[in-house]
């Protein structure tokens, strides 16, 4: 890579076939799907809470939140535990594939609208040779 | 020796000792003749002196030394306890507390401000000197002797030995040796003393123990008991010839054998029986106290959190093992897993309990505060505390102190009237202050109540309009409760003239902010001329409660046991419909029926049942029947918050992790009814 900026690491995951990334500094762990306890009176994309080693963590279906339909659970389904300030949330994703380095020079401002995702949730677009990764802003996603 | 590793222990232990000193002093004030208390105070002062000496905090050491002198003369009956003396002792206590704080913050003890305290203490013990000057002249040595005999008693074995030695014409001496200040090699000096004595006598007892003396685990003095054939002046001279010895006191022990009686009475020179009983009391007290202190260990709360999480993980893995066990069908395995289950359950319970601290820890500083304030303001105040055993999470306990101090100060300062005013209003001369703690549903309630003059809503209303918080028209619309709540508004309370008003309000916004940051709330109830009551409601974040676990469809929910009145089974057909609300005629009362499954949007719920299980819950005077599927049982659960993201959800008070690692939601019955 020929970047001159600061290298940033992102956890890359998939929703359907699109690739998304979250700053690794905001990711606590990546978990396999576990039993979710439903919480009533919440938005439909809030799937409930799980017990993460003694901590109660709310779980959001990211696809549903982005209006991409409800996640179908498969072998590859993962929960990415992210945090911002004191809020901690688990995001259901179709699969978490890898961690990549992206040169901050290669991150572009998000366009006005990216499909169904409100552009407010997007922090930038990372370009990596042939790949395009939509980088999400955890803070914004957690701001209800 | 590197003492830094002991610093933390020193600080924590000192704080504990100071706390107990505080209580004993308060006790002594109201009960000046209590020898036990006096001895306890003496013991604590002495312990602190010893610890400070070891750690090299000389200021603390010298102050506690002076305190000891005063206490000693008290103990000897040379002076009587009076309020002035208690005040000074309290002052010393405060100074010690500040010193310990400063040590914990900066590692250094403050060295200023101690001299006037020492002078005061000295003047206290001097009072007695001038009082009893005549006695002192011939008793000069005796008082010191009392001092050392006090801490150096013979046990049965020693007595036996002494009697034997005496009957053989030998002499038994108790020797107290004080090493010079700044003596560098204490154990070496002690060794020389031992050597010298052993030339013509036998040492059969020492305090501290010989091992401790060898390890320099003593301050500057140690005591020995010897059997010797020579005269005591010879012994004294010999020891005094050793360098770096400041003082040697020797006393001969004479036993009187009571013949046929099994019990031997010991008479030691200059000590009468009364003092002897005091001593035994002292020792008895000592052992009781020691046992108590030995039971507590201080642990960093993060370690507990960590431990708790590890236990939760253990439980999850246990559940997995259970699954494997069922598949394998191996009997040995079943047995092992069952055993594991028992252990993890107990472990879970134990860890949960560790985090909880009785609120006593906060409450026990208030008697002293109330005493000081009432003296300062010339009011008589009786403080009544109840529910000190109510348990709260450690983190909450640490934070709740300041707001409570604020409220208590307010009550004493502004709430309770002066003596004259009280008499005029037909009230008892002494103001009453109540501090109550109890658990209520999912919260712990702390009430600060006084029987003072109450809060004048009219004055607050004027104030609201004056300060521009509301227009007159708006203010007129407000009900009393809303008006009183203005006291909690920031800015409103800080205004200078507020204390001239009905009082109340100084820093109340701070109280409110603090309590809200703990997830709780404050309310005020006040009746003019009858008093005011501040009610603090704190959530049981992480508190342990008893709960009933129930099934709704496939889901599990917990209902706090203390909101449950009873559980019953009814026939479905008995439920009637009144104006769209299902009710049941139950015990001659109309009981509204709430279908939990509907409220909680539970799917796959079987509504068509002939018999319905009803959990009757109460909120104040109101009852409601909650329809549930099945009862699972009563469990002790830890309440955990759902986290910031989900915030407050109506009907849900929080979540808990069940023994199998599953999450169950806790139903907030108050918001449902």
User: Under an 8 A CB cutoff, do A56 and B662 touch?
Assistant: no
Higher pLDDT, B540 or B358: B358
Per-position pLDDT tens, chain A of length 144: 454 678 889 999 999 888 999 999 999 999 999 889 999 988 889 999 998 877 889 999 999 988 888 888 888 999 999 988 778 999 999 999 899 998 888 888 877 665 656 666 777 888 877 888 888 888 888 875
User: Under an 8 A CB cutoff, do A37 and B664 touch?
Assistant: yes
pTM over 0.90? The answer is no
Are B252 and B153 within one domain?
yes
Are B348 and B415 within one domain?
no
Are B576 and B531 within one domain?
no
Closest residue in B to A38 (Cα–Cα): B555
Are B316 and B447 within one domain?
no
CA nearest B386: which of B440, B441, B446, B451?
B446
Residue with tokens 């011939």: B138
* A88 closest CB neighbour out of B312, B643, B662: B643
- Compute the distance between CA of residue B448 and CA of residue B44 in angstroms, rounded to an integer: 32
Give B107-140 pLDDT, tens digit per residue.
777 777 777 788 877 777 665 444 444 333 443 4
Q: Tell me, yes or no, whether B399 lies in a domain.
A: yes
CA nearest A79: which of A63, A66, A67, A68?
A63
The confidence score (pLDDT) of residue B255 equals 62
Q: Tell me, yes or no, whether B287 lies in a domain.
A: no
Q: Where are the extended beta strands (E) located within B284-363? A: 356-358
Q: What is the CATH number of the domain that holds B238?
A: 3.30.70.1110
**Range(s) of the domain holding residue B584:** 544-672
Q: Does B662 touch chain A (CB under 8 A)?
A: yes
Q: Which of B234-243, B375-384, B581-590 has the lowest mean pLDDT?
A: B234-243
φ, ψ of residue B95 to 5 degrees: the values are: -60, -45
Q: Tell me, yes or no, whether B289 lies in a domain.
A: no
Q: What is the ipTM of this complex?
A: 0.87
Which of B477, B504, B539 is at the close of a domain?
B539
- Compute the distance between CA of residue B275 and CA of residue B142 in angstroms, rounded to an integer: 13
CB atoms within 10 A of CB B334: 14
Are B369 and B349 within one domain?
no
B408, two tokens: 């208590």
B262, two tokens: 């099994």
Give B486-528 pLDDT, tens digit per residue.
777 766 654 444 443 334 445 777 788 778 767 677 888 888 8
B542, two tokens: 């992480």
Are B341 and B392 within one domain?
no
Which of B258, B274, B290 is at the close of a domain?
B274
Mind listing the domains of chain A with CATH numbers?
Answer: 7-142 (2.40.50.180)
- Compute the distance between CA of residue B369 and CA of residue B385 in angstroms, rounded to an integer: 13
Q: Where are the extended beta strands (E) located within B494-606? A: 521-527, 531-539, 544-552, 555-560, 564-571, 576-578, 581-586, 589-595
Q: Tell me, yes or no, whether B286 lies in a domain.
A: no
Number of domains in chain B: 5
HSE-up of residue B531 (Cα within 13 Å, Cβ side): 17
Are B66 and B168 within one domain?
no
* B645 closest CB neighbour out of A50, A51, A58: A58
CA nearest B247: which of B160, B360, B147?
B147
Q: Which residues of A touch B (CB under 8 A)?
A: 35, 37-42, 46, 48-51, 53-58, 86-89, 142, 144
The confidence score (pLDDT) of residue B614 equals 92
The alpha carbon dihedral of B482, B487, B490, B494 has a sign of positive
Give chain B's count of helices (H) and strands (E): 23, 23
Are B562 and B585 within one domain?
yes
Query: What is the greatest pairwise CA distance in chain A?
Result: 50
CA nearest B518: which of B533, B540, B486, B493?
B540
Q: What is the CATH number of the domain that holds B390?
A: 3.30.565.10
φ, ψ of residue B617 to 5 degrees: the values are: -115, 155
Task: Please state, for a pLDDT cut of 70, what percent of chain B lies above it.
Answer: 83
Strands of the sheet containing B564-571, edge to edge, are B564-571, B611-619, B622-628, B589-595, B581-586, B576-578
Q: Tell me, yes or no, whether B214 lies in a domain.
A: yes
Are B350 and B364 within one domain?
no
Residue with tokens 């070891």: B54
Q: Does B308 touch chain A (CB under 8 A)?
A: yes
Which of B274, B293, B318 is at the close of a domain?
B274
Q: What is the CATH number of the domain that holds B71?
A: 1.20.120.160
Are B390 and B348 within one domain?
no
In the three-class reduction of DSSP (H, G, I as helix; E, B as strand; rest coil), residue B171 is classed as strand
Chain B residues near residue A49 by CB distance under 8 angstroms:
642-643, 646, 655, 663
Q: Tell me, yes or no, whether B26 lies in a domain.
A: yes
Are B478 and B598 within one domain?
no
Q: Tell me, yes or no, whether B307 lies in a domain.
A: yes
Q: Tell me, yes or no, whether B283 lies in a domain.
A: no
Give B540-597 pLDDT, tens digit per residue.
655 566 789 999 988 999 998 878 889 999 988 888 888 888 999 888 888 999 988 8
Are B463 and B591 within one domain?
no
Q: Are B339 and B318 spatial neighbours (Cβ–Cβ below 8 Å)?
A: no
The confidence score (pLDDT) of residue B55 equals 80
Closest residue in B to A41 (Cα–Cα): B649
């Amino acid at each position: 890579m020929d970047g001159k900026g600061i290298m940033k690491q992102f956890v890359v995951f998939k929703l359907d076939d699109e690739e998304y990334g979250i700053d690794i500094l905001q990711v606590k762990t990546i978990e396999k799907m576990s039993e979710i306890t439903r919480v009533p009176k919440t938005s439909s994309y809030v799937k409930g809470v799980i017990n993460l080693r003694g901590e109660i963590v709310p779980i959001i279906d990211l696809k549903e939140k982005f209006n991409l339909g409800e996640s179908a659970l498969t072998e590859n389904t993962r929960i990415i535990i992210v945090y911002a300030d004191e809020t901690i949330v688990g995001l259901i994703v179709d699969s978490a594939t890898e961690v990549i380095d992206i040169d901050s020079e290669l991150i572009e401002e998000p366009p006005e609208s990216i499909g169904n995702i409100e552009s407010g949730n997007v922090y930038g677009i990372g370009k990596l040779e042939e790949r395009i990764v939509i980088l999400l802003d955890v803070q914004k996603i957690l701001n209800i | 020796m590197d003492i830094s590793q002991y610093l933390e222990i020193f600080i924590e232990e000192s704080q504990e000792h100071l706390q107990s000193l505080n209580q004993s002093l308060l006790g002594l004030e109201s009960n000046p003749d209590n020898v036990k208390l006096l001895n306890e105070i003496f013991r604590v002062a002495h312990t602190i002196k010893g610890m400070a000496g070891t750690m090299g905090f000389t200021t603390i050491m010298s102050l506690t030394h002076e305190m000891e002198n005063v206490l000693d003369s008290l103990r000897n009956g040379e002076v009587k306890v009076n309020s002035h003396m208690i005040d000074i002792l309290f002052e010393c206590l405060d100074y010690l507390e500040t010193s310990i704080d400063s040590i914990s913050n900066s590692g250094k003890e403050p060295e200023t401000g101690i001299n006037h305290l020492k002078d005061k203490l000295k003047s206290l013990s001097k009072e007695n000197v001038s009082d009893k000057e005549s006695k002192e002249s011939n008793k000069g040595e005796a008082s010191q002797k009392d001092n050392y005999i006090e801490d150096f008693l013979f046990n049965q074995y020693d007595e036996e030995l002494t009697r034997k030695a005496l009957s053989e014409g030998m002499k038994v001496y108790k020797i107290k040796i004080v090493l010079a200040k700044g003596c560098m090699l204490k154990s070496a000096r002690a060794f020389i003393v031992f050597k010298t004595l052993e030339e013509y006598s036998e040492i059969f007892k020492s305090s501290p123990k010989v091992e401790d003396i060898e390890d320099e685990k003593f301050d500057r003095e140690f005591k020995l008991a010897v059997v010797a054939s020579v005269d005591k002046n010879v012994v004294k001279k010999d020891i005094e010839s050793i360098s770096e010895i400041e003082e040697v006191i020797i006393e001969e022990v004479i036993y009187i054998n009571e013949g046929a009686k099994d019990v031997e009475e010991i008479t030691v020179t200059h000590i009468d029986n009364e003092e002897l009983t005091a001593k035994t009391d002292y020792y008895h007290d000592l052992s009781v106290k020691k046992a108590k202190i030995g039971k507590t260990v201080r642990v960093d709360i993060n370690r507990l959190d960590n431990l708790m999480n590890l236990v939760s993980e253990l439980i999850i893995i246990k559940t997995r093992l259970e699954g494997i066990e069922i598949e394998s069908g191996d009997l040995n395995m079943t047995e092992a897993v069952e055993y594991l289950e028992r252990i993890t359950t107990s472990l879970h319970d134990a860890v949960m309990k560790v985090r909880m601290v009785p609120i006593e820890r906060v409450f026990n500083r208030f008697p002293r505060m109330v005493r000081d304030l009432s003296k300062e303001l010339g009011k008589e105040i009786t403080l009544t505390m109840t529910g000190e055993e109510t348990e709260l999470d450690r983190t909450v306990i640490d934070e709740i102190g300041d707001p409570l101090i604020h409220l208590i100060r307010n009550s004493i300062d502004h709430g309770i009237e002066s003596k004259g005013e009280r008499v005029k209003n037909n009230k008892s001369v002494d103001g009453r202050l109540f501090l109550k703690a109890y658990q209520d549903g999912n919260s712990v309630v702390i009430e600060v109540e006084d029987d003072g003059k109450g809060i004048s809503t009219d004055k607050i209303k004027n104030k609201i309009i004056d300060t521009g918080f509301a227009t007159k028209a708006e203010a007129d619309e407000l009900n009393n409760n809303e008006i009183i709540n203005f006291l909690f508004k920031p800015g409103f309370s800080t205004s200078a003239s507020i204390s001239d008003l009905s009082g109340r309000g100084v820093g109340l916004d701070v109280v409110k902010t603090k309590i809200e940051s703990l997830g709780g709330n404050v309310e005020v109830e006040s009746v003019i001329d009858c008093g005011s009551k501040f009610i603090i409601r704190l959530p049981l974040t992480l508190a342990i409660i008893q709960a009933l676990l129930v099934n709704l469809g496939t889901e599990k929910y917990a209902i706090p046991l203390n909101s449950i009145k009873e559980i019953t089974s009814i026939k479905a057909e008995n439920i009637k419909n009144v104006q769209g609300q299902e009710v049941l005629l139950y015990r001659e009362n109309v009981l509204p029926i709430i279908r939990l499954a509907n409220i909680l949007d539970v799917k796959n719920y079987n509504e068509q049942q002939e018999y319905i299980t009803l959990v009757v819950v109460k909120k104040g005077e109101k009852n409601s029947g909650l329809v549930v599927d099945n009862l699972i049982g009563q469990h002790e659960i830890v309440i955990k918050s759902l986290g910031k993201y989900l915030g407050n959800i109506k009907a849900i008070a929080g979540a808990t992790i069940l023994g199998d690692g599953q999450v169950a939601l806790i139903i907030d019955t108050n918001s449902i009814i």
